[in-house]
Amino acid sequence: MNANLFRAMVLIFIISIFIGVFSIIAYLTWTTYKQESMCSNYYKGNTEHTKALILDKSISVDDGCPHPFLAYSSKIGDTSMVKFLIENGAKIKQKFSYKRPKVAPYVIKHTPLFYAIYGKYELKKINFPLEIDEKYIAALEMLVQNGADLHTPCGREYKDGVSDSLKTAYRTESPDTQNALDIIKLIDHPLLNDFAEKHTKPSTHKRKNHPSPET
């Protein structure tokens, strides 16, 4: 192999690497832009854009910004979006990571129903005006009618290897888990109270902790 051919092969190899790296960067940049654009439209109420992406399989019906569409749409009482998501197979009972503490030995898990209710409680804690109306209750009704359960415990889930003594220390601050009924009691809003009374049934779980304002 002469020197010129060798140099040409090396040059082609370097160019190939450069093109590959550039393509990856371009793809990641475009993907990030599309995600941010979609979320911006979604939060502005342009859910038709999100629906189109779900229908053409560009994104999953269980994606979110960052929380699942079903959870957020239920919280804001967007009954049209909630209905669309349920009809297209959104996971109603699955828990998702609500917060990921960087140093704590646990993650916080919520179902869409719990998130939709707990989000209102977080607003109440900072004295933010609560937007609890008939549309919001209707969105919660859709979740319950399709399998969501007010008794499902949500909250802290410990990582493997966490000692019992450390768990006890966290339980002293607040329960490991709460359910949506616990949070409704803390919010104490007439519409939510009526909703809870309508769907309350005897729980098969014995609660070991009293309701606490924090999960």
Cα torsion through 179, 182, 199, 63, rounded to 10? -40
Query: Which of 6-15, 52-61, 118-127, 149-158 has the least mean pLDDT?
Result: 6-15
Q: What does the block give as tokens for 34?
A: 């599309």
- Tell me the mean pLDDT in the region 62-75: 94
Give the pLDDT confidence score for residue 41 in this predicted structure.
85
User: Ramachandran region of residue 94, left (φ > 0), alpha (ψ -120 to 50) or beta?
Assistant: beta
Local structure of residue 46 (DSSP, 8 states): -
Contact criterion met (CB below 8 Å) for 134 and 107: no
Peptide bond preceding 101: is omega within 30 degrees of 0, i.e. cis? no
Contact criterion met (CB below 8 Å) for 52 and 46: no
pTM to 2 decimal places: 0.76
> Strand ranges (DSSP E) for 64-173?
96-99, 106-110, 154-158
Residue 183's closest CA among 96, 101, 122, 111?
122
Question: How does pLDDT run across 101-112, given as a tens digit for each residue?
Answer: 777 889 999 999
- Tell me the mean pLDDT in the region 106-120: 95
Query: Which of 78-87, 102-111, 206-215 has the least mean pLDDT?
Result: 206-215
Mention every residue, 6+ apart, whose C-beta is less than 8 A from residue 142. Answer: 74, 79, 82, 83, 86
Give the pLDDT confidence score for residue 29 in this predicted structure.
45
